[in-house]
């Protein structure tokens, strides 16, 4: 629906395009956090929570159970205050993601090809390819491999597999030089978006002086 806003990303490699998209989305989201949350109050709550946490550690070391319980109650009160403050921007952020994330999916989402008599067609990067499957082998244009496989088609690399008797073609958006625990080294658009967003949200919030 809003793909035209991000069509300029197609000029970049998929990995860089998703990274830029992540930065744009996070900046937009954090603008709402900046506007909708009183940053002075948020900073005070954050500092008070930090102080309470330090006092709790001291009370626990001293074996002062009553003091620890009182501080825990104060900590919960401050956390609840912060949660109430962040509720509105969280809802707005969710709406932003729901509206804009499908644009990225339009560019890089998986292709599911329905076969008829072992044949089908798929369009990748504006180019149409004929697909033919024979036993465990699949041909996509001039490229062929034994399913499941990873192969280059046109300018990009894809994972090809079978799903419910259909050929699934998933674009590999990013490949790391090392494997992440439980995640591997190759990622589709959504996995790469999440991986990019995790460190970026910290960097952007610090740059925009947003206290959470």
At residue 2 the predicted structure's pLDDT band, cuts being 50, 70 and 90, is low
Q: How would residue 211 be classed by pLDDT, with cut points 50, 70 and 90?
A: confident
Task: Please write the tens of the pLDDT for every residue from 13-66.
Answer: 999 999 999 999 999 999 999 999 998 999 999 999 999 999 999 888 888 888
Residues paired with residue 132 on neighbouring β-strands, in sequence order: 119, 139
Confidence of residue 78 (pLDDT cuts 50, 70, 90): very high
- Note the pLDDT of residue 111: 93
Q: Which residue has the higher pLDDT, 22 or 211?
A: 22
Pair 191, 206: CB distance under 8 Å: no
In the chain, the percentage of residues whose pLDDT exceeds 90 is 69
The DSSP call for residue 4 is G
Say which residue, 2 or 101, is predicted with more confidence.
101
Look at residue 10 in the predicted model and tell me its pLDDT.
Answer: 86
pTM, to two decimals: 0.83
State the residue for tokens 């329905």.
Answer: 114
pLDDT band at 195 (very low <50, low <70, confident <90, very high): very high
Distance from the Cα of residue 57 to its chain's centroid: 35
Instruction: Say whether pLDDT at 3 is over 80.
Output: no
- Domains in the chain: boundaries: 14-109+186-207, 111-173
- Average pLDDT, integer, range 103-126: 90
Distance CA 210, CA 193 (A): 22
Average pLDDT over residues 199-205: 95
Q: What tens digit of pLDDT does each residue of 140-190 get? A: 999 999 999 999 998 899 999 998 889 999 999 999 999 999 889 999 999
Distance CA 206, CA 203 (A): 5
Buried-exposed string 119-149: b where 16+ CB fall within 10 A, e elsewhere = ebebebeeeebebbbeeeebebeeeeeeeee
Higher pLDDT, 2 or 105: 105
At 135 the pLDDT is: 87
Tokens of 4: 């035209």
User: For the segment 120-150, what is each residue's pLDDT rounded down to a tens digit?
Assistant: 999 998 899 999 998 889 999 999 999 999 9
Sheet (strand 156-163) strand order: 111-113, 166-171, 156-163, 149-153
Would you give the DSSP letter of residue 116? B
Angle, alpha carbons 133-137-140 (nearest 5°): 60
């Amino acid at each position: 629906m809003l793909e035209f806003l991000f069509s300029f990303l197609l000029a970049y490699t998929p990995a860089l395009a998703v990274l830029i998209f992540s930065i744009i989305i996070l900046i937009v989201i954090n603008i709402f956090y900046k506007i909708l949350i009183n940053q002075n109050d948020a900073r005070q709550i954050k500092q008070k929570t930090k102080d309470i946490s330090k006092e709790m550690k001291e009370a626990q070391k001293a074996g002062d159970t009553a003091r620890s319980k009182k501080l825990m109650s104060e900590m919960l009160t401050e956390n609840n205050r912060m949660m109430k403050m962040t509720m509105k921007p969280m809802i707005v952020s969710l709406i932003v993601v729901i509206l804009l994330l499908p644009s990225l999916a339009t560019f890089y989402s998986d292709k599911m090809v329905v076969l008829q008599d072992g044949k089908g067609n798929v369009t990748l990067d504006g180019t149409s390819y004929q697909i033919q499957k024979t036993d465990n082998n699949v041909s996509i244009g001039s490229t062929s491999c034994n399913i499941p496989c990873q192969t280059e088609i046109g300018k990009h690399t894809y994972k090809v597999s079978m799903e419910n008797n259909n050929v699934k073609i998933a674009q590999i958006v990013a490949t790391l030089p090392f494997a992440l625990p439980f995640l591997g080294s190759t990622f589709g658009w959504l996995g790469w978006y999440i991986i990019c967003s995790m460190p970026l949200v910290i960097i952007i919030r610090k740059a925009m002086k947003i206290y959470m």
